[in-house]
Amino acid sequence: MLVKTMVLNAEVVRKDFPILQRTVHGKRLIYLDSAATSQKPKCVIDAEREFYERYNANVHRGAYLIAEEATSAYEAAREKIAKFINAPSKDCIVFTRGTTEAINLVAYSWGWANLREGDEILLTEMEHHSNIVPWQLIAQRTGAKIKVVPITDDGLLDLDEFERLLTERVKIVAVTHVSNVLGTINPVQEICSKAHEVGAIVLVDGAQAAPHLPIDVQAIGCDFYALSGHKMCGPTGSGVLYGRKDLLESMPPFLGGGEMIRTVTFEKTTFNDLPYKFEAGTPPIAQAIGLGVAVDYLTKIGMGRIRAHEIELVAYALERLKEIDGITIYGFAPPEQRGGVVAFNIGEIHPHDLATFLDAHGICIRAGHHCAQPLMRRFDVAATARASFYLYNTQEEIDALVEALEKAEKFFGR
Ligand code: 7TS
């Protein structure tokens, strides 16, 4: 009997990613910014090319062969994504351009229809701006108030405060599954069941989770789950909103236009079935098909193996980074409770200087506020450096990062 090894061989995985074969500034490319966007395997790039070369046509309207091929590939991708996150039906899967659009869809459609003065929207201190700003915009229009769950010094959600703030005034809790700065994995299942006890619904921002953890929206018990395809080996311009079917059915459309209608007169329009009611206009067809192929690719490797590989990488990175003089690492969640990101600063060196210095060594990291300014304020910093890992990263790349950071510390720090 063949015993399937659980260990992911990143050296083998890397061969699937053409970009990882290139050099920058004469150095091997070391890509440690997958939290911003992941690299794409050849099968995804090929799928997009094949769409344009062989069956490029609009979906849901053509009466000819290639239009039927485009429609069936687009709908097959929806089916694959439903399976990937264990959604009960493909009708609960709405294609969007990414997490940002998915959250805006819920804020404008559900929020505008359901929020009133006196209602509360519960966010957390570790949200990305895309899970803050849409709620502010909708709060201004509806008179609802935003309340914020603080985090502990360790970078974990303060669950006592969550329970204290979770009153019957709260109508929606919008929480990130994994922080894009601290890497903290939040107990979203527990958050959903507590929120439901007071009659609130929950939107989970899965931008940093879906690429890295096995996701089961039914086990989590969330009402909405938003994700970005481009962070999980899929094309840019691809994303998904999962929504509970009864909620999606009760919600007004977000955008109006072609495709989302059943009948239109100047007096009245009736709307299409789910999920088309929320997909006005020509959708990102090639991107959605590419995302379907990305999901096949990740599934074939195994999300459990990807997760195990990332725990190993983060544990190794935390251990090695601590060797650097003057380093501050943000967030103390242990590797098992953290996604593949590590944010840090070294002494007084500006993180942008660090990133530029590393770039000369072929190493890509992100520096800045990571679209999480309230979180930066919580830790009293303007910006941090951030290394983020994915299935194609190796311990050797972390060694190269540490070596380059040690040089940077000598260069800038003295
Ligand atoms: N939510 C979280 C938690 C994110 O990390 C991001 C993007 C988004 C939402 C928005 O996703 P989009 O695909 O709609 O743009 N985060 C990052 C990042 O950390 N660096 O660049 C983008």
Domain range annotation of the chain: 10-40+301-413, 45-298
45-298: CATH class = alpha beta
Residue pointed to by tokens 């190796």:
394
The DSSP line for 329-398 is EE----GGGB-SEEEEEETT--HHHHHHHHHTTTEE-EEE-TT-HHHHHHTT-S-EEEEE--TT--HHHH
Q: What is the pLDDT of residues 37-90, one digit of tens each?
A: 999 999 999 999 999 999 999 999 879 999 999 999 999 999 999 999 999 999
State pTM to two decimals: 0.97
Asked whether 128 lines ligand 1 (CB < 6 A), one says yes
- Give the residue numbers marked as catalytic: 371
10-40+301-413: CATH class = alpha beta
What number does the ligand 1 atom closest to the CA of 205 have?
Answer: 1
CA of 343 relative to ligand 1 center, distance in Å: 15
Mutate to test the pocket of ligand 1, among 228, 238, 341, 364 (most ligand atoms within 8 A of CB): 228
CA of 147 relative to ligand 1 center, distance in Å: 22
Burial letters 306-345, b for 16+ CB under 10 A, else e: bbebbbbbbebbbebbeebeebebbbebebebbbbbbbbb
pLDDT score, position 5: 52
| pLDDT averaged over 10-residue windows placed end to end, the chain, 414 residues | 67 98 97 98 98 97 92 98 98 98 98 98 98 98 98 96 98 98 98 98 98 98 98 98 98 93 93 94 97 98 97 97 96 92 96 97 97 95 97 98 96 80
Residue pointed to by tokens 């395997």:
41
Single-letter amino acid, residue 161: E
pLDDT score, position 413: 75
Asked whether 78 lines ligand 1 (CB < 6 A), one says no
What number does the ligand 1 atom closest to the CA of 102 have?
Answer: 14
Asked whether 109 lines ligand 1 (CB < 6 A), one says no
Which protein residue has the closest C-alpha to ligand 1 atom 18? 36
What number does the ligand 1 atom closest to the CA of 100 have?
Answer: 14
